[in-house]
């Protein structure tokens, strides 16, 4: 029996989750606005309070206990709510809005490529699911089945889709008759269920998740191959341009590719805080394997002979959100890149009783101005919350930019802006309040700052990741890189046997390293050594090796002739990127 656990959250005081900063204020411990006004030092007082309150937000540090930190961030920033089925989470509006930004971008882009959306049933019969034994083999244990309706057993159990090849391809077989029906390009936005047994992590590994799955069929093999890469490029853009997370594009090894197809391409991300890689999204060439299994044939142009189309499939999931949280979040909570942030700017008034200046009115004008500049902005005019409480809450929730307006700002025609990514504060001089309403330079200026935040978040994440990729040519430095939670780029023979050897040997080496630490050097550090096997993340494309600048230009395509595999005696054929992954 599964116990309705909160997935490793037992240690968290969940019932206290509403009680970050706000409580001290709600309980009336402080009356900051009034006393501060009397002294004319609102901002100093506010600052002090923010510091106190911040400690009540996320109560552990990202660098000290990454998984506790992550669990707290996703809950306290209101991205997820826990659920009483292990591995299932409620996606709250704040996270769903991020997903909608990804959907909006990707959906528009695939439509430009001529892809059409459709929706297929969530259930699949056992017979259909089994049509495809080869690829199911490794996955069968993860398939969830419905066996009853009410109290009576179903005649035949039906599976809940873990992916939809077996649901979509029988329909495609009916719809594809002649070469005129090709290419056929379908996509569905849906949920899928995979009954994972590994430790669940919100967004990253959950038993139900949202995704898109694209399924396409071409007469022309090279057009199919081209699409695999076009889609992969869109996945890169989701990560790099929307989420400000750098990824590496490449092709999966034989061991890691989707078994039902010909080859798998991937975008791989990295979480510096714990040294784990994470598969971002995959785009597969299926060749004609599925067409053969599901009887997808069409009549050729000239001969009228029966031909099989070339198929692709590709998918990207709500995991994207988790990766962005892990990469950008800090000790204060979430840090959202402006392009996907549900709110890009929050305006917080510093209201001081009896002050002559009309702070609220100014805030409203600023808010309207930014709305008209198509920015996602909120004027946080809740009277029952102090400015410090609001600062704290919006920082926790990752809003990229805060605008503060106080009475002195109104007098001096300035506003204070605070960037969430760098926590940097500065004031901006405005020309005239009266002219503001008719002038859109303010909107443009804020939009420019948001662009700058987006850009610098990506640059910072890239620099952090790049510093953690090591190019190594033999076992010792390879293991050193892995133990130090880096990714390793190596010359590799590309043999499955060798990858298996590396897995096992790296596991043994980590265990003995851990034991040595525990017994001799530093017992406390032993617990922080990552366990688990090392695998190939991908064999990066030449274009990616060029971007990374880790190997000589002459070796972008492949290691120089004569180079040896870092792990065995064979000749090196490819560059491979290795790491521990989610």
Q: Where do contacts with ligand 87F occur on this chain (CB under 6 A)?
A: 135-136, 139, 142-143, 162-163, 165, 194, 213, 258, 282, 284, 313-315
Q: Which two tokens stand for residue 75?
A: 């809950």
* Cβ–Cβ < 8 Å for 539, 494: yes
Nearer to ligand 87F, 195 or 556 (CB): 195
In whole angstroms, how close is the CB of 559 to ligand 87F at the nearest point?
29
CA torsion sign for 528, 531, 536, 537 is negative
Strands 535-540 and 469-471: unpaired
In whole angstroms, how close is the CB of 250 to ligand 87F at the nearest point?
15
Cα separation, 394 vs 56, whole angstroms:
14
Nearer to ligand 87F, 315 or 400 (CB): 315
How many C-beta neighbours within 10 Å does residue 432 have? 10
Cα separation, 34 vs 350, whole angstroms:
11
Cα separation, 392 vs 54, whole angstroms:
6
Cα separation, 212 vs 314, whole angstroms:
8
Nearer to ligand 87F, 282 or 490 (CB): 282
- Residue 229 — φ and ψ, nearest 5°? -80, -35
In whole angstroms, how close is the CB of 241 to ligand 87F at the nearest point?
21
CA 70 vs. chain centroid, Å, equals: 13
Nearer to ligand 87F, 163 or 318 (CB): 163
Residue closest to 202 by CA, chosen among 326, 310, 298: 326
Cα separation, 139 vs 194, whole angstroms:
9
Tokens 């002038």: give the residue: 439
In whole angstroms, how close is the CB of 339 to ligand 87F at the nearest point?
24
In whole angstroms, how close is the CB of 266 to ligand 87F at the nearest point?
9
* Cβ–Cβ < 8 Å for 578, 537: yes
* Cβ–Cβ < 8 Å for 166, 120: no
Nearer to ligand 87F, 344 or 536 (CB): 536
Q: Which two tokens stand for residue 302?
A: 């000239």
In whole angstroms, how close is the CB of 59 to ligand 87F at the nearest point?
36
In whole angstroms, how close is the CB of 161 to ligand 87F at the nearest point?
9
Nearer to ligand 87F, 167 or 565 (CB): 167
> DSSP H helical segments within 333-386, as ranges?
359-372
At 346, which helix (H) or strand (E)? strand 345-349
At 149, which helix (H) or strand (E)? strand 145-149
Helix (H, G, I), strand (E, B) or coil at 66: helix
Nearer to ligand 87F, 139 or 175 (CB): 139
Q: In what order do the strands lie in the sheet with 123-125?
A: 123-125, 152-160, 145-149
Nearer to ligand 87F, 205 or 514 (CB): 205
In whole angstroms, how close is the CB of 379 to ligand 87F at the nearest point?
42
Cα separation, 200 vs 2, whole angstroms:
14
Nearer to ligand 87F, 313 or 454 (CB): 313
Nearer to ligand 87F, 167 or 479 (CB): 167
In whole angstroms, how close is the CB of 322 to ligand 87F at the nearest point?
17
Nearer to ligand 87F, 188 or 510 (CB): 188
What are the residues whose beta carbons fall under 8 Å from the beta carbon of 391, sequence distance 6 or more?
46, 50, 348, 402, 418
In whole angstroms, how close is the CB of 163 to ligand 87F at the nearest point?
4
Nearer to ligand 87F, 135 or 185 (CB): 135
* Cβ–Cβ < 8 Å for 158, 210: no
How many C-beta neighbours within 10 Å does residue 312 have? 27
Nearer to ligand 87F, 256 or 404 (CB): 256
* Cβ–Cβ < 8 Å for 328, 461: yes
Helix (H, G, I), strand (E, B) or coil at 364: helix
Kindly tell me the burial class for residue 555, based on how many C-beta atoms sit within 10 Å of its own C-beta (0-12, 13-18, 19 or more): middle
In whole angstroms, how close is the CB of 319 to ligand 87F at the nearest point?
12
In whole angstroms, how close is the CB of 242 to ligand 87F at the nearest point?
19
Question: In this chain, which residue has its C-beta nearest to ligand 87F?
Answer: 315
């Amino acid at each position: 029996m599964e116990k309705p656990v909160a997935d490793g959250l037992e240690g968290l005081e969940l019932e206290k989750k509403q009680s970050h900063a706000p409580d001290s204020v709600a309980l009336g411990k402080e009356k900051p606005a009034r006393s501060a006004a009397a002294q004319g030092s609102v901002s100093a007082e506010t600052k002090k309070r923010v510091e106190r309150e911040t400690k009540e937000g996320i109560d552990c540090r990202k660098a000290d206990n990454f998984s506790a930190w992550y669990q707290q961030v996703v809950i306290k920033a209101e991205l997820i709510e826990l659920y009483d089925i292990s591995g299932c989470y409620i996606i709250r509006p704040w996270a769903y809005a991020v997903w909608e930004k990804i959907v909006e971008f990707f959906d528009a882009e695939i439509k430009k490529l001529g892809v059409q959306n459709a929706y297929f049933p969530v259930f699949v019969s056992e017979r259909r699911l089994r049509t495809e034994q080869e690829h199911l083999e490794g996955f069968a244990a993860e398939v969830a089945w419905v066996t009853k309706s009410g109290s009576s057993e179903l005649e035949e159990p039906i599976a809940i889709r873990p992916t939809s090849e077996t649901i979509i391809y029988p329909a495609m077989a009916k719809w594809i008759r002649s070469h005129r029906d090709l290419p056929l390009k379908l996509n569905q936005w849906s949920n899928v269920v995979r009954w994972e047994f590994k430790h669940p992590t919100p967004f990253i590994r959950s038993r139900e998740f949202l995704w898109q799955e694209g399924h396409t069929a071409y007469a022309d093999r090279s057009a199919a191959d081209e699409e695999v890469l076009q889609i992969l490029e869109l996945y890169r853009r989701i990560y790099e341009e929307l989420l400000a997370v750098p990824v590496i594009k490449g092709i999966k090894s034989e061991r890691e590719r989707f078994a039902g197809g010909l080859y798998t391409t991937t975008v791989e991300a990295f979480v510096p805080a714990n040294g784990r890689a994470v598969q971002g999204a995959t785009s597969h060439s299926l060749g004609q394997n599925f067409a053969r299994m599901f009887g997808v044939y069409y009549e050729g142009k000239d001969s009228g002979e029966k031909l099989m189309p070339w198929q692709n499939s590709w998918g990207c999931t709500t995991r994207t959100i988790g990766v962005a949280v892990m990469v950008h979040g800090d000790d204060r909570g979430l840090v959202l890149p402006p392009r996907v942030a549900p709110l890009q700017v929050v305006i917080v008034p510093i209201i001081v009783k009896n002050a002559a200046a009309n702070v609220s009115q100014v805030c409203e004008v600023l808010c309207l101005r930014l709305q008209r500049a198509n920015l996602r902005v909120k004027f946080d005019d809740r009277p029952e919350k102090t400015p410090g409480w609001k600062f704290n809450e919006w920082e926790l929730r990752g809003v990229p930019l805060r605008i503060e307006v106080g009475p002195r700002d109104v007098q001096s025609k300035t506003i204070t802006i605070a960037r969430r990514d760098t926590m940097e504060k500065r004031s901006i001089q405005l020309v005239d309040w009266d002219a503001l309403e008719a002038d859109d330079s303010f909107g443009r200026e804020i939009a420019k700052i948001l662009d700058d935040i987006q850009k610098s978040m990506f640059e910072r994440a890239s620099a952090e990741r790049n510093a953690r990729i090591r190019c190594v040519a033999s076992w010792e430095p390879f293991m050193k890189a892995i133990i130090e939670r880096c990714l390793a780029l190596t010359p590799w023979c590309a043999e499955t046997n060798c990858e298996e050897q590396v897995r096992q040997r790296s596991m043994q080496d980590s265990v003995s390293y851990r034991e040595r630490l525990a017994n001799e050097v530093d017992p406390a550090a032993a617990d922080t050594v990552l366990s688990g096997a090392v695998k190939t993340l991908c064999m990066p494309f030449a274009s990616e090796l060029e971007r990374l600048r880790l190997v000589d230009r002459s070796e972008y395509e492949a290691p120089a002739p004569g180079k040896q595999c870092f792990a065995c005696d064979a000749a090196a054929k490819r560059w491979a990127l290795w790491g521990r992954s989610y």
